[in-house]
Amino acid sequence: MRRGFGLRVLAIGAATAVVAACAASPPAPSAPASGSAAAVTGTLIVNGAGTLAKPFTAMIAAFKAQNPDVTVQSRFAGSVEVVRGITELHTPVDVLGVADYSLIPSKMYGTNGGTQFANWYVGFAANRSTFAYTDRSKGAAGLTADNWYHVLAQPGAKIGRSNPDTDPSGYQTLQMLALAQNFYHQPGLSAAVLANSPPETMVGTETQLLPAVSSGQIDYLGIYRSDALQHHLKFLDLPSQIDLSDPAQAATYATVSVPTSSGPRTGKPIVYALTVPTNAPNAAAGLRFVEFVLSPAGQKIMSDNGFTVVAPAVAGVAGGAQLPASVQPQTVPAKLPGG
């Protein structure tokens, strides 16, 4: 299985951003982009995607070391769920991190007269959709890059995945299977694999099932490559036309759409994004945390945890809004689908 990162170019309109790989030595840790700014205080509330739990927990510890008077509260769940917490329940959040950048403009910009809960985002990391497994997984001994969908569809294989209504990994797994069906010219591929993953076995976020695949309770888990690397699991090394990792394949990804309770989800490259909600109770601390994530120290933590760092980060803004000045030097304009 391919586990190293290479350098990848992310074409964004007239601008070009390098999706930085850390096969080479990462930059040395440094202070956040704000440099000499005074340490922040008060309570910082961080909500994020389940797959960000491990790197963000490390970042929070490093951030607190630089800002000893700040108290941090964090929660990690499915990205759709945490966005709904802000937009529907008005949950106070200072920093939001999602596993699908398009959730911020589509659900938080307040288009069509709705309430605006965010007016910018920065895409800071990329990932790959895959299936993780172990040596004890059913059919693992004979699994190859050419027969994986046959192995996962065999009778008795147990496949875990997250709920597409609450978690991007859930709908991205469905999109990946739909793309595989087209790529391999195998009608019925997606349905055959999903027959081993009935809806009643779905969970809120894919990371909840990591113990189940590690212990052998399930054989395969639809998940991100970063999670597989963090937990020392084997994973399928899928073509870029399938795994939602390559912005150059955006047109191919857009050929598939899967249903969710909030409407169809069209395939897009997997790009993680951050924002500070407009109603953040401690927006200053939230912005400083975003600066830390974009700093060399934050980038190193992300790459150490199996993510591909997007550097410079890609930034999107709502009409009439401006990106905070302190993060502008680390970004280029985003021209991502739906962003």
Assigned domain for 222 exists: yes
Residues 189 and 214 in one domain: yes
Q: 1 in a domain, yes or no?
A: no
CATH number at residue 163: 3.40.190.10
Q: 135 with 231, same domain?
A: yes
In terms of domains, do 134 and 261 share one? yes
Query: Has residue 105 been placed in a domain?
Result: yes
Give the residue, 322 or 111, on which the prediction is more confident: 322
Report if residue 210 sits inside a domain.
Answer: yes
In a domain, 339, yes or no: no
Residues 249, 294 within the same domain: no
Nearest-angstrom CA–CA distance, 295 and 277: 20
Parallel/antiparallel/unpaired status of strands 15-20 and 8-12:
antiparallel
Q: State which of 214, 233, 265 marks the end of a domain.
A: 265
102 with 215, same domain? no
Question: pLDDT value at position 53?
Answer: 98
How far, in Å, CA of 339 to CA of 336, rounded? Answer: 5
The reply to whether the predicted model has a pTM over 0.85 is yes
Q: Quick one: pLDDT band at residue 17, thresholds 50, 70, 90?
A: very low
* Selection from 27-36, 53-62, 198-207 with the highest mean pLDDT: 53-62
By CB atoms closer than 10 A (0-12, 13-18, 19+), residue 41 is middle
SS3 per-residue string spanning the chain = CCCCCCCEEEEECCEEEEEECCCCCCCCCCCCCCCCCCCCCEEEEEEEEHHHHHHHHHHHHHHHHHCCCEEEEEEEECHHHHHHHHHCCCCCCCEEEECCCCHHHHHHCCHHHCCCCCCEEEEEEECCEEEEECCCCCCHHHCCCCCHHHHHHCCCCCEECECCCCCHHHHHHHHHHHHHHHHCCCCCHHHHHHCCCCHHHCECCHHHHHHHHHHCCCCEEEEEHHHHHHCCCEECCCCCCCCCCCHHHHHHHCCCEECCCCCCEECCCCEEEEECCCCCCCHHHHHHHHHHHHCHHHHHHHHHCCCEEEEEEEEEECCCCCCCHHHHHHEEECCCCCC
Crossing angle for the helix pair 283-294 and 53-66, nearest 10 degrees? 110
First to last CA, the chain: 32
Question: Which of 225, 243, 265 marks a domain boundary?
Answer: 265
Q: What is the mean pLDDT of residues 273-301?
A: 98
Domain that holds residue 34: 8-127+270-333
228 & 308 share domain? no
Report yes or no on 3 lying in a domain: no
Indicate whether 163 and 188 sit together in one domain. yes
- Backbone phi, then psi, for 332, in 5-degree steps? -130, 160
What's phi and psi for 134, nearest 5 deg?
-130, 175
Number of domains in the chain: 2
State the average pLDDT over residues 91-99.
98
Is the domain of 261 the same as that of 277? Answer: no
**Are residues 136 and 90 part of one domain?**
no
Q: What is the mean pLDDT of the chain?
A: 90
Band of residue 16 on the pLDDT scale cut at 50, 70, 90:
very low
**214 belongs to a structural domain:** yes
260 and 136 in a common domain: yes
* Strand 42-49 to 70-77 pairing: parallel
Indicate whether 31 pLDDT > 50.
no
Give me the phi and psi of 251, to 5 degrees please: -65, -35
Q: Is residue 338 part of a domain?
A: no
Q: From residue 174, give the alpha-carbon distance in Å to each of 160, 178, 190, 192, 266.
A: 12, 6, 8, 12, 10
**Are 259 and 160 in a shared domain?**
yes
Q: Last residue of a domain, which of 265, 300, 315?
A: 265
* Among candidate residues 173, 159, 170, the one with its CA nearest the CA of residue 244: 173
Same domain assignment for residues 96 and 190: no
Reported as a single tens digit per residue, the pLDDT across 115-158 is 999 999 999 999 999 999 999 999 999 999 899 999 999 999 99
